[in-house]
Amino acid sequence: MRLTDFKILTFDCYGTLIDWEAGILAAMRPLLGRLGGKVNDGAALQDFGRHESAIQSTEPALNYRKVLAKTYLALATEWGATVADGETERFGQSVPDWPAFADSAESLAYLKQHYRLVILSNVDRQSFAASNKKLGVAFDAICTAEDIGSYKPDRRNFEFMLRTVKEKFGAAPGDILHTAQSLFHDHQVAKAMGLATNWIDRRAGKAGGGATKPIEGITTDFRFTSMAAFVAAHRAL
């Protein structure tokens, strides 16, 4: 299997192209600051991932901005912290402030010359539109949780994406390389559905799973520690 075997790259966005952990922590500083160091960044991300995933599972049709707001309130409750008026809503609206990884825009511009690019993301359209400005590329199709009515790792999200690329491009699953950071949200389902997978391991060398639930036993077809490394491997071919 070679990187040049595919026609379409389907991308997770947050954690892969957008540095959601940096964005989450920056938006969480008012809450963490009131705890006086009681909860460190690693624990905060882990707790965030646990609450976010639970809310997405129990309320799959909830807009992502409201998922974030409810996650923030759940964290404050768990940590015994007070929440100021409007604070949960501000956290829910924070996605446009989350930074892109330094290599994302340039890498996407290169890959756009060789593949169709498709987003499969666990956010709402409005939030993704703001992030897309930082990525600087016109995606050929965009599939969000808001469009689908569920959140990854629900299989419905991948089925929706597969229907989209078939209807828009006449593409078969074998034409697709699913490219993502999260083994939990993305790779476990993509592999189960027979898709080729490309792991952008942004957390390589870091302890724990960060804001993503840890999962064992998932083998991907490709692994790179950055989008720049992925592009370099493609250039070499």
Per-residue pLDDT of the chain (237 residues), as tens digits, is 999 999 999 999 999 999 999 999 999 999 999 988 899 999 999 999 999 999 999 999 999 999 999 999 999 999 999 898 899 999 999 999 999 999 999 999 999 999 999 999 999 999 999 999 999 999 999 999 999 999 999 999 999 999 999 999 999 999 999 999 999 999 999 999 999 999 999 998 888 889 898 888 899 999 999 999 999 999 999
| Active-site option among 12, 19, 124, 154 | 12
The pLDDT of residue 22 is: 97
Structure tokens at 1: 């299997």
Angle of helix 20-34 versus helix 41-58 axis, rounded to 10 = 110
The pLDDT of residue 144 is: 97
Q: Is 186 a catalytic residue?
A: no
- Is there a contact between 224 and 204 (Cβ–Cβ < 8 Å)? no
The pLDDT of residue 206 is: 85
The pLDDT of residue 209 is: 84
Domains of the chain: 3-19+100-236 (3.40.50.1000), 24-97 (1.10.150.750)
